Amino acid sequence: MIKINFMGDVMFGELLENFRCGLKTTLEKRGIDPFEHVKSTLKKADLNVINLECVFSDSSIRSNPFSWILISPEKFIKYLVDNNINVVNTANNHALDHGRDAFEGSLDILSEHGIKIIGYVKNGFFQEEPAAFEIDGMRIGFLGYNISNFPDADRRRYVDRIKDVVSGVRSSFDKIVVSMHWGEEYTNISPSYVIGFGRELLDAGCDIIHGHHSHQIQGVIEDAGRIFAPSLGNFIFDQKIEKNRITAILQVEIDDGKLSYEYPAFYMNELYQPVASPKHNEYIKEVTEYLAGCYAEADAGVYDETVMRNVNAGHRRNRIRMRARMLSHFWDYLPYVGNMFSFKLGKESIYSVIKSANDIDEKSDRRDTQK
C-alpha cells in the first residue's frame, strides 16, 4: 500500500500586514517547528506533497519592506527536510517575486536536499515531463502548473497543453498527479472554470488533481476512481482570516491500483501550526457539498455569483486588516514609507506574476540585491 499526503499552500515568510510579527518572525523568535503537530502523520507517508508559496533565499531584488514578504530564509529548508516533505510544486504566482536569482537559488536548495520539484524549473515555466517515483512496483508521475491570474484565452490554451502532456505520458505511469495553482482567492467554492478544467484533466488521464491558490479549502470528491481536490487551501501560512486558517490533509492510499482517501480537518493555531481539529470536519462536509453540487455538469456555474461575492469580500476584509495593522504598528513601517508610496504610485510592483509560458517579469532578471 502506498500512502501520499497532499497539503495546500506552505509559506515560511510573512505577509505585508504581518510585517515583523508574522510567521517568519515567530519561527525566528520561538524556534518552533511549524509541522510539529502533524509530524507523525507526515512520517508515515511514502510521499508528502505541498505547494511552496515562497522561495528560500537570503536576498531579494525588492526594497524594504517588500524584501521580507513571501520569502523564507534559506535555513528554513530544514522544516521540509525534517518532516519528510519530498514533493514541492513551484508553479504559482509568487515564484518570481524576489527575482530570478532568488528563484533559481531556491530550486538549488530544494534539489540539494533531495526534494523533488514539479512546476517551474530553471528556464522552464511549463512542465513537459513528469517527476517520476517508483514505489512498490508502481510508477507515479507528478506535474505542476499555474494558471492563476491568467486571462480566459490563456487559461484555455494552457489547459489544452496540459491535457496533451497528460495524454502523452499516460501509458508510462500507473498513476498521474496534476498539481494546479488556479481559481480565485478568498472563496471556499470553486469557480465554474476550475470545475470544467478539472473534469477535462481527469478525462485526459489524470488520477489525482491537487489544487491550491484560493487560501481556503474547497472540498474533495471522487469521480470514477479518480480524486478531484480543487483547492486544499492554506496549510502553513500567516493569514489570520478565520476560513483561511481551516485546513486539511488529503491522505490518499493506493492499494492494488485503487485509490481511496481521507480528508481530516486541521486548524492553524496562533503560531501558524496546523493542529488536528475534528470540530471543523462539519465545515469540510459543507464545502464538499458545494463542490459536489457544482461538479454536476449542468450546474457548474450555479455558485459563480457567490464565488465573486466571496472573493470581493475577502479582498476587502484583507485591505481593512492591512490598513489597521499599519496604523496600529506605524513605527514598524515608518522607515519604509517612501518605498511603500513608490509601490502605491505604481513605480514598483510587489509581485512578478507569470501570465503565460516563459513570461518573466522584466525585474526578475535584475541581479542586484536590496535586502
Most confident segment among 85-89, 150-154, 346-350: 85-89
Confidence band for 367, pLDDT divided at 50, 70 and 90: very low
Q: Is the Cβ–Cβ distance between 7 and 235 less than 8 Å?
A: yes
DSSP alpha helix (H) spans, the chain: 23-30, 39-43, 77-82, 100-112, 152-169, 192-204, 242-245, 281-295, 304-328, 330-333, 337-344
DSSP state of 177: E
Give residue 369's pLDDT: 37
Give residue 269's pLDDT: 97
Q: For the chain, what is the mean pLDDT? A: 92
Confidence band for 102, pLDDT divided at 50, 70 and 90: very high
Long-range contacts of 293-299 (CB under 8 A, 24+ apart): 294/189, 294/190, 294/192, 294/195, 295/195, 295/199, 295/221, 295/223, 295/228, 297/199
Nearest by Cα to 230 from 195, 275, 270, 254: 195
The 10s digit of each residue's pLDDT in 173-196 is 999 999 999 999 999 999 999 999
CA dist 233 and 244 (Å) reads 7
Confidence band for 232, pLDDT divided at 50, 70 and 90: very high
The CA dihedral of 105, 249, 30, 242, to the nearest 10 degrees, is 110
CA dist 43 and 35 (Å) reads 11
The 10s digit of each residue's pLDDT in 322-343 is 889 888 988 899 888 888 877 6
Written as nine digits, the cell of 45 is 507517508
Superfamily of domain 2-311: Metallo-dependent phosphatases (3.60.21.10)
DSSP state of 247: E
Q: Is the Cβ–Cβ distance between 357 and 127 less than 8 Å?
A: no
DSSP state of 271: T
Confidence band for 298, pLDDT divided at 50, 70 and 90: low
- 88-112 average pLDDT score: 96
